[in-house]
């Protein structure tokens, strides 16, 4: 397991919790707008010892009540289960951020009781996953894995959210219809607008044709149209 970052305090990333964020290094996706580009491209540049993070969390049990495990993609690390179990033994609630590409591992950590909240990124409409994630556009198995993760989360009994970062150049307003169908019946979905940053992956890496795409945020009225479309399929939809 590689830990590439630690935010010691957040009041925003785990609703209702005073939390720390642990960032695992490495990812099996290459989303050009990823704001953790350095952790994806250079996962071993700033490694923090697992023991160091654990010791910090152990000392802060009287102040913190939650830990967010983000990335990168945490579930590509087979040994992350042990780390999560150690955190749970300290009494922390755990929020897991995932891209949904590892449904078997996702089910395992849920079944073990290691997760209290799951936030899954829906990268886009199923037929655009190849473009957005840098994976093979004809990789049917990837789409099936995403669908499997959605089903696992929704049937798990664990609290959850789905979310999509909308980026002009990669997404269209019309994509919301297909995303809505993918997560039909979900309890919660967040529409997130793209924000420019010097840390995004496409500025750190040669990503072929994607490097030539102009990435832009959506207008407020466009985000409202997206929200209204998703509302047909999901109970609670918010723009943030």
DSSP calls for 55-73: HHHHHTTTT--EEEEESS-
CB atoms within 10 A of CB 125: 21
User: Global pTM?
Assistant: 0.93
Model confidence pLDDT, tens digit, residues 71-95:
999 999 999 999 999 999 999 999 9
Q: What is the pLDDT of residue 203?
A: 57
Domain 3-239: homologous superfamily in CATH: Aldolase class I (3.20.20.70)
Q: What percent of the chain has pLDDT over 90?
A: 79
* Contact yes or no for 58/87 (Cβ under 8 A): no
Query: Cα–Cα distance between 54 and 60 in angstroms, integer?
Result: 10
Contact 183, 234 (CB under 8 A): yes
207 has a pLDDT exceeding 90: no
- Burial status of residue 164 (CB atoms within 10 A of its CB: 0-12, 13-18, 19 or more): buried
Weakest-pLDDT range from 36-50, 137-151, 187-201:
36-50
Answer yes or no: are the C-beta atoms of 47 and 2 closer than 8 Å.
Answer: yes
Cβ count within 10 A of residue 144 = 12
Report the half-sphere exposure of 55 (CA within 13 A, side-chain side).
5
Peptide bond into 72 cis (omega under 30): yes
In the numeric block, which tokens belong to residue 68?
């967010």
pLDDT (tens digit per residue) in 14-57: 999 999 999 999 999 989 888 877 777 766 778 999 999 999 99
Helices 103-111 and 140-155: crossing angle, nearest 10°? 20
- CB-side exposure of 19: number of CA atoms within 13 Å? 22
């Amino acid at each position: 397991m590689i830990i590439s970052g630690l935010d010691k305090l957040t009041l925003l990333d785990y609703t209702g919790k005073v939390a720390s964020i642990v960032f695992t290094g490495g990812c099996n996706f290459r989303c050009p707008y990823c704001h953790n580009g350095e952790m994806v491209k250079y996962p071993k540049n700033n490694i923090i010892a697992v023991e160091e993070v654990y010791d910090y969390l152990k000392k802060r049990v009287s102040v913190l009540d939650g830990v967010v495990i983000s990335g990168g993609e945490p579930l590509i690390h087979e040994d992350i289960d042990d780390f999560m179990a150690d955190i749970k033994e300290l009494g922390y609630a755990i929020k897991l951020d995932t891209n949904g590409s590892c449904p078997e591992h996702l089910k395992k950590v849920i079944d073990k009781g290691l997760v209290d909240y799951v936030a899954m990124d829906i990268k886009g409409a199923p037929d655009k996953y190849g473009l957005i994630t840098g994976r093979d556009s004809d990789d049917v198995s990837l789409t099936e894995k995403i669908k499997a993760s959605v089903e696992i989360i929704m049937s798990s009994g664990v609290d959850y959210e789905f979310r999509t970062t909308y980026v002009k150049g990669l997404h269209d307003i019309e994509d919301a219809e297909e995303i809505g169908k993918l997560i039909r019946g979900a309890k919660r979905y967040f529409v997130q607008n793209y924000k420019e940053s010097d840390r995004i992956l496409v500025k750190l890496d040669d990503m072929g044709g994607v490097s030539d795409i102009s990435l832009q945020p959506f207008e407020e009225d466009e985000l409202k149209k997206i929200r209204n479309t998703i509302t047909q399929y999901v109970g609670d939809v918010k723009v943030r």
